[in-house]
Amino acid sequence: MNTPLSVSGRILAHLDLDRETAPGLWIALAGSLTIGAVIHVSYGNVFAGAAVVLLIGLMLVTFYRVVYSFFAFIGMVLLFDQFQIPGFHSLTYKFDYFKNLKEITFLPSIPAGVLNAIELHLLFILFVWVLILVLRRDVRLSRIPVWGAFLLLYGWFIFSIIYGIKTGGDFLPALWETRALFYLAFVYLMIPHLIQTRKQLEMFMWICIGIIAFKAFQGVGRYAILGFNFRGLPALTNHEDPLFILSLCILLLGFLVFKVDHKQRKSLLFLLLPLLLGFYTGQRRAVIAASFVVLPVFFILLPGDKQRKFLKGALPVVLFFVVYCGTFWNSNHVLAQPVQLIKSGIVQDKESMSLEDYYSNLYREYENYDLAVTARTYPIFGTGFGKKYLQPIPLVNIAFPLRDYIPHNEIFWIIVKTGSIGFFFFWLFFTSYGLHGATVFMTLRDPYLKSICGMIIATIIAQMVVSYYDLQLTFYRNMIYLGALMGLLPVLQRLDEPPPKNRAEKK
C-alpha cells in the first residue's frame, strides 16, 4: 500500500526530485533570491549580481579543491584590468576586481574597507588550506627556494613600512606602495604547496596561455576597430600585458628548442601572430628593451648543441629584422609603426621623436634626478614607505594620485624607500633566485619542465628591466604573475624526479 505524499513531496515529485536531491533545489532558490536581492539593492547593477555568483562559486570551489580556487584567482588576475585603458570601457575593467571594498560602486559604502577582492580571496584560500592541514594532521611543507634571502628582504620591507610611518609617513600610501610586493610573497610561498601533480601544472600553464592570448586578442580587436591606427591613444592594452606575452614567447621558444611534443606548443604556434600583434598594440618600449636582454640570456642558458641550433634558426629572423628596420627607419608608413616604436627608445633627440615621447623621457630624467637626491639624503635606511620622495626639480602634474610616492623608475624607488640595506637585500634575493633557477635549468631532464624553467628565469630578468623604466613593481598583476612563476621552481624539481621504483632499480 502506497503512503500518501505530503504537500512538499508532491511538489518535489512534479519537479522529478526526491529527498536526496531536494537540497539542490533549495540551494538554487536561495542563490536566486540572494542574487535578485543584490541586484534590487544595487538598483539593477548586473555586475553586483555577477559578483555574488562569483563569490559563492569561489567559496564552494575552495572547499572542494583549494588548488582550483587558486587557479581561478590567477585567471581573474590575468583577465581583469587594474587600470582603465584610455578610450575604452571594457567589461574586464568594470568588475572593479582590484579596487578596495570602499571604492567598489555596487557595494554599500564601507569607509574602513581598505581590503580588496584579491586579499579576501587569498586569505580565504589560506584559511581553507590551513584548515585542511589541521584536519588531516599531515603537515608537509615544501621547500622554498632561497628562503634565507627571501626572509631578509621581506623582513626589511616590514621594517621600512614601520620606519616610514613612525618618521612621518602615512599608512594608506605605504599600503598602496607595498601590497603588490606582498602579493608576490604570498603566491611565491603558496604555489609549491598547492600544485602537486603534472596535470595541475599543465592546467596552470593552460590558464596562463589562454587568458594572456585573450588579452592579446583584446588589443588586436581594438586596433582593428580603430582602422589599424592608434588614433592618438598611447596603448590599446594594459601596460602589463606585453610583458606577459613576452613570457609566452620565451615558453614557445623553449618548446621549439627542446622539441617538446605537447598541445601547448601547437597552441602557441597557432597563437603566435595574434600574440605578436597584441604585443605591438601594448606600445611598451620598456618591454621591447627587455626583449633584447632576455633573448641573449636564454641563449646563454642553452647547452652547446642547442646554442648552435638556436643560432641557425635565429639567423634568418635576425636578417629579416635588420632589413625591415633599415627599410622603414625613417618612414611614416603604417608598416613602419613598430620600427618607430623601437627607434623612439634609442634615438633621444627632440627632432627624431614625437613630442609625447620626448616629454615622457624628459619627465623621467627629472624624476630620476629627484630620486638620486633623495637616495643621497637618506642613504642607509631610505625614507621608508608612506613618505614622499624629494623634488628639488618640481615635476608636472600627471594623472596618477601616488605620483609623489611611486616614480616610474622602480629600481631607484627601492633604494629610495629601503635604503642601501634594502637595495642589497632586494638584489640578493632576485640574483640568488636567478642563479638557483639556472642551476635547476641545467639539471632538469624533462623538456617540458625545462622550457617552463627557462621561461621563469627570462620573466624575472624582463621584469627587472621593465621596472627600471616603468611602474611595474607596484602593479598587482605583474607581481602576482611573477610570484606564481617563481613559486613553480620546486614544483618542477619535484615532478622531474624519477618515481621511487625507478630510483630503487637504479641503485
String of DSSP letters for 87-134: T---HHHHT-TTSBGGG-TTS---TT---BHHHHHHHHHHHHHHHHHH
Residue 15 lies in a domain: no
Rounded CA separation 505/507 (Å) = 5
Least confident window among 36-40, 217-221, 444-448, 456-460? 36-40
Tell me phi and psi for residue 469, to 5 degrees. Answer: -105, -25
Q: What is the pLDDT of residues 431-478, one digit of tens each?
A: 999 999 999 999 999 999 999 999 999 999 999 999 998 888 999 999
> Which pLDDT belongs to residue 355?
72
Cell of 412: 631607484
Average confidence (pLDDT) over 343-348:
67
Identify whether residues 421 and 286 lie together within a single domain.
yes
The domain boundary, picked from 123, 140, 157, lies at 140
Rounded CA separation 416/384 (Å) = 8
String of DSSP letters for 238-289: -SSHHHHHHHHHHHHHHHHHTT--SHHHHHHHHHHHHHHHHHHHT--HHHHH
Q: Which residues contact 214 (CB under 8 A, 6 or more apart)?
A: 79
Q: Do 419 and 387 touch, CB atoms closer than 8 A? A: no
pLDDT of residue 504 exceeding 60: no
> Which pLDDT belongs to residue 72?
93
Identify whether residues 112 and 180 lie together within a single domain.
no
Higher model confidence: residue 24 or residue 326? 326
Identify whether residues 98 and 237 lie together within a single domain.
no
> Which pLDDT belongs to residue 411?
95
Which residues constitute the domain of residue 31? Answer: 26-140
> Which pLDDT belongs to residue 3?
54
Least confident window among 132-146, 159-173, 177-191? 132-146
Identify whether residues 354 and 450 lie together within a single domain.
yes
Q: Do 253 and 199 touch, CB atoms closer than 8 A? A: no
pLDDT of residue 275 exceeding 90: yes
Residue 162 lies in a domain: yes
Q: Do 417 and 382 touch, CB atoms closer than 8 A? A: yes
Q: Which residue has the cell 588548488?
A: 67
Identify whether residues 280 and 371 lie together within a single domain.
yes
Rounded CA separation 31/25 (Å) = 10
Residue 410 lies in a domain: yes
Rounded CA separation 391/413 (Å) = 13
Which of helix, strand or coil describes residue 449? helix
Cell of 157: 620591507
> Which pLDDT belongs to residue 397?
84
Where does the pLDDT of residue 505 fall: very low under 50, low under 70, confident under 90, or very high at 90 and above? Answer: very low
Q: Do 142 and 188 touch, CB atoms closer than 8 A? A: no
Higher model confidence: residue 432 or residue 89? 432
pLDDT of residue 2 exceeding 60: no
Q: Do 73 and 55 touch, CB atoms closer than 8 A? A: no
Residue 498 lies in a domain: yes
Identify whether residues 62 and 149 lie together within a single domain.
no
pLDDT of residue 211 exceeding 90: yes
Residue 259 lies in a domain: yes
Identify whether residues 319 and 183 lie together within a single domain.
yes
Rounded CA separation 235/337 (Å) = 13
Residue 370 lies in a domain: yes
Least confident window among 39-48, 90-99, 495-504? 39-48
Q: Which residues contact 370 (CB under 8 A, 6 or more apart)?
A: 389, 390, 391, 392, 393, 395, 407
Identify whether residues 58 and 173 lie together within a single domain.
no
> Which pLDDT belongs to residue 86?
83
Q: Do 425 and 153 touch, CB atoms closer than 8 A? A: yes
pLDDT of residue 17 exceeding 60: no
Determine what percent of the chain is predicted with pLDDT higher than 90.
Answer: 55
Question: What does the longest C-alpha to C-alpha distance in the chain come to?
Answer: 98
Residue 4 lies in a domain: no
Spell 378-404 as b/e; 16+ CB within 10 A means b.
beebbbbbbbebbbeeeeeeeeeeebe
Identify whether residues 107 and 164 lie together within a single domain.
no
Least confident window among 34-43, 195-204, 325-334? 34-43
Average confidence (pLDDT) over 476-491:
96
Higher model confidence: residue 136 or residue 319? 319
Rounded CA separation 216/158 (Å) = 36
Tell me phi and psi for residue 331, to 5 degrees. Answer: -100, 155
Identify whether residues 358 and 458 lie together within a single domain.
yes
In the chain, % helix, strand, coil (3-state, to 5) comes to: 70, 0, 30
Q: Domains in the chain: how many in total?
A: 2
Identify whether residues 173 and 308 lie together within a single domain.
yes
The domain boundary, picked from 140, 171, 201, lies at 140
Give pTM, 2 decimals. 0.88
Higher model confidence: residue 135 or residue 450? 450
Least confident window among 104-108, 126-130, 461-465? 104-108
Burial environment of residue 68 by CB neighbours within 10 A (0 to 12, 13 to 18, 19 or more): middle
The domain boundary, picked from 112, 140, 168, lies at 140
Residue 297 lies in a domain: yes
pLDDT of residue 358 exceeding 80: no
Rounded CA separation 67/457 (Å) = 24
Spell 482-497 as b/e; 16+ CB within 10 A means b.
bbbbbbbbbbbbbbbe
Identify whether residues 131 and 223 lie together within a single domain.
no
